[in-house]
Amino acid sequence: MLDGTHRRVTDARCTADQDPFEIGGVRMSFVNNPDGMPVQFIERPHGARGTYEMRRGVRLQMGTAR
């Protein structure tokens, strides 16, 4: 998924100094948008929505407090 996003944004005039890479199971990509502003894309392992889910393997319930 991240590789496809990286490819699409670089095809759309964003510039990248390097290809996507992985650190600790998290895939990352850094690009500069056409105005030169840096943008970061991340892909967490196993569809985790945050670091808590990623580290604990527990899916958090999102919604209103009861």
Q: Give 6-62 pLDDT, tens digit per residue.
A: 999 999 999 999 999 999 888 999 999 999 999 999 998 877 777 767 777 666 566
19-26 long-range CB contacts below 8 Å, 24 or more apart? 25/54, 26/54
Which one, of 38, 36, 29, lies nearest residue 8 by Cα?
29
- Categorize the per-residue pLDDT at 65 as very low, low, confident or very high, splitting at 50, 70 and 90: low
pTM: 0.71
Whether 59 contacts 52, CB under 8 Å = no
Strand order in the sheet with 21-23: 21-23, 26-32, 38-43
